[in-house]
Structure 1
Amino acid sequence: MPYMYILECSDGSFYVGSTFDVEARLWQHNHEGGAAYTRRRQPVKLLYFEEYERIDEAYAREKQVQNWSRAKRRALIDGVGMELLPELAKKRRRPPPLVE
């Protein structure tokens, strides 16, 4: 089954990806480099994953979560109710500049 997953890197940053085999992909990230981003931030650990029927669904979810703020990703990982995610997204937006 395809998966979307979130890793925590050694520097505390998150990496979001998708794969057919989470365990094999985690091993690659820690031993064969996996991705350029994680290669420089080993070791990595799996924090979260979601299972999908098709790889295109997992990939679409990967792209969605990649565009989220750190706070929103952390809320997903921690299992905070989905109803709070829109509020976290609002906190990321900056107010428009004041025009005098």
Structure 2
Amino acid sequence: MENNEHTVYMLRCKDNTIYTGYTNHLENRLRMHEEGKGAKYTRGRGPFTLLYCASFSSKREALREEYRIKQLTRIQKERLINSDQKGMADHEDSKKLSKS
């Protein structure tokens, strides 16, 4: 994944909750979550597993998708994750992330 793309992503936290977020630099944002400097919700909930990521051509499109995903039920989010696994196998960050 290239830097500075508009990306929506989902993480599974150690308490089995799912966090959805937006970034324009996924690798950097994942590192922030690992270090406890990411979103307030994810602090203390690591390690994380990257479940889903999708890139968009504009910030507006990405934020719209982030909002749409956040409105889904947990079951609907799991279905979305399961239906989108085809591209995730190649992504190096789909491995379990651990706090440094």
Q: Same fold (TM over 0.5)?
A: yes
- Structure 1 residue 23 displacement after superposition: 1.3
**Over aligned residue pairs, what C-alpha RMSD do you find?**
1.2
Which 5+ residue runs of structure 2 have no aligned equivalent? 85-100
2:39 matched to which residue of 1? Answer: 35
Q: Give the residue type in structure 1 aligned to 2:74.
A: R
Q: Give the residue type in structure 1 aligned to 2:13.
A: C
Instruction: Find the partner of 1:70 among 67, 74, 77.
Output: 74
TM-score by length of 1: 0.75
Q: Give the residue type in structure 2 aligned to 1:57.
A: E
Contact residue 14 and residue 48 of structure 2 kept, 8 A: yes
TM-score by length of 2: 0.75
Q: C-alpha separation between the residues in 2 aligned to 1:30 and 1:12?
A: 16
- Structure with larger Rg: 1
1:47 matched to which residue of 2? Answer: 51
Q: How does 1:1-100 map to 2 (within 5 A)?
A: 1-79=5-83
Instruction: Identify, as 1 or 2, the structure richer in helix.
Output: 1
Contact residue 26 and residue 45 of structure 1 kept, 8 A: no
Higher RCO (C-alpha under 8 Å, 6+ residues apart):
2
Structure 1 stretches of at least 4 aligned residues deviating more than 6 Å after TM superposition: none
More displaced 10-residue stretch of structure 1: 25-34 or 11-20: 25-34
Which 5+ residue runs of structure 1 have no aligned equivalent? 81-100
Instruction: Identify, as 1 or 2, the structure richer in strand.
Output: 2
Q: Give the residue type in structure 2 aligned to 1:26.
A: L
